[in-house]
Amino acid sequence: MASGYSGKENPDLEESIDVQLQNLIKLIRTKYISSSQSYKPMDLGRKAQFFTLDVITKIAFGEAFGDLERDEDMYKYIQSTEEMLVVIILFSTVPLLSWLISFEWVAKMAFPSGQEATGVGRLIAVAQELIGKRFGSKAVSRQDMIESFIRHGLKEDELISESLLQILAGSDTTATTIRATMLYLMSHPSTYRKLQEEIDEAVRSGRASSPIVKSSEAQELPYLQAVIKEGMRVWPAVTGLMTKVVPPEGDTVVVDGKHMFLPGGTNVGYCAWGVHHRKDVFGEDADAFRPERWLEAKGDKLAYMHKTADLAFGWGKYQCLGKNIAWMELNKVFFELLRNFDFAIVDPTKPWKSENLGLWRQSEEWVEITDRLTS
Ligand code: HEM
């Protein structure tokens, strides 16, 4: 499936993200600009997920949910996944429970069927309907990710479950990274200013000339790259154990330079928060948000930091398939938000609600926004 995710076989991938980002900018500009005459705070936590959901649904189904255009949690999808998150994480973490849902009748009781009017059940119905359009005698054909998957042999039911997985895996994670990085930026004025200066300079010098910055242009901005890496490191979006099972014959691994035999069947997980805050890897100030560390480190030290930080996307054959898409979204979103607007936290004593369940349940990130381009 890698070619579908990479953009090689779906040339409109970047444009799909641009359209949704334009929708986000339009939504902010029309409804949430505060000035001396009007006070219109916005829940950035919610809008970040509207953006990532519209991007993923456009990519996975060929049609966006339309959360940004309607300024609404369509089909109550976000509300339902927030409610179901505990169950999802429990089932994916506790081996006995994942064994139990291999029985069809248990799975039927635990999970939605597609008959429900809202939430994940409604999403299953939407997936069945939209993916169904790509099959049969009147099959719709487009040069996109779904088409790429079909060409590489995925069947209709596999495509439906893949698209659902994508939405769960790709919207919440990227939204967490946007929320957390924006919160750190807003609470670190010198970092915020430095990033905005780099963005403004790229626009002035014509290095970012399109209405929405190209991902290739954003990649050339060293401070922006450092900010994104630091945001993902200091606040990893996936903190669940994500255990992998040692093959039956067992395996020998190297831990801190020592060989260690792991018996077959052992579940091996990793503590994301601990690893991404390791002082021996990232420095004594590993708990602090300081993007400069990525520009100061050199050679082997920098390579080790990169390799460690990359674990945020998993490793090996289980690594996140949407990593490039996530990077593309992040490259564009911070650039455009800070190019167009200025952000301040409404209540610094209660900046957001954030709860860790292995993934994050986050809400109420109220911000005050001013328009940089018109004020
Ligand atoms: C900052 C954003 C993201 C982070 C931190 C992230 C992280 C992860 C992690 C940790 C895993 C599990 C790896 C494992 O099992 O060990 C994963 C899997 C996955 N992610 Fe992401 N992800 C992000 C964005 C996305 C996006 C945007 C998409 C879709 C376009 C996506 C699609 C997937 C899929 C399909 C899998 C399952 C791969 C498989 O079949 O094994 N992710 N991701």
Distance 155 CA to ligand 1 centre (A): 21
Distance 341 CA to ligand 1 centre (A): 29
* Residue 328 confidence (pLDDT) above 80: yes
* C-alpha span between 167 and 179 (Å, rounded): 18
pLDDT classification of 161: cutoffs 50, 70, 90: confident
Closest CA to 45 of 362, 357, 370: 362
* Per-residue pLDDT, 101: 63
* Per-residue pLDDT, 189: 98
* Per-residue pLDDT, 219: 97
**Residue 177, ligand 1, Cβ within 6 A:** yes
**Residue 173, ligand 1, Cβ within 6 A:** yes
Q: What is the DSSP string of 285-331?
A: TTTS--TTHHHH--HHHHHHHHHHHGGGG--GGGS-TTHHHHHHHHH
User: Tell me: the pLDDT tens digits for 23-43?
Assistant: 999 999 999 999 999 999 999
3-class state of residue 362 by DSSP: strand
Q: Who wins on pLDDT, 343 or 315?
A: 343
User: Tell me: the pLDDT tens digits for 192-223?
Assistant: 999 999 999 999 999 998 999 999 999 999 99
* Per-residue pLDDT, 293: 98
Distance 38 CA to ligand 1 centre (A): 40
Least confident of 76-85, 274-283, 363-372: 76-85
Distance 242 CA to ligand 1 centre (A): 11
Q: Who wins on pLDDT, 49 or 91?
A: 49
**Residue 311, ligand 1, Cβ within 6 A:** no
Least confident of 53-57, 136-140, 181-185, 284-288: 136-140
List of domains in the chain: 2-222+320-354+364-371 (1.10.630.10)
269: CB partners within 8 A, 6+ apart: 241, 242, 243, 244
Are 353 and 363 within 8 A, CB to CB? yes
* C-alpha span between 212 and 150 (Å, rounded): 30
**Residue 85, ligand 1, Cβ within 6 A:** no
What separation, in Å, do the N-terminal and C-terminal C-alpha atoms of the chain show? 46
Average pLDDT score over residue span 172-176:
96
* C-alpha span between 48 and 56 (Å, rounded): 12
Closest ligand 1 atom to residue 272 Cα is 10
Burial label for 55, CB within 10 Å (0-12, 13-18, 19+), is buried
Least confident of 104-113, 230-239, 245-254: 104-113
pLDDT classification of 22: cutoffs 50, 70, 90: very high
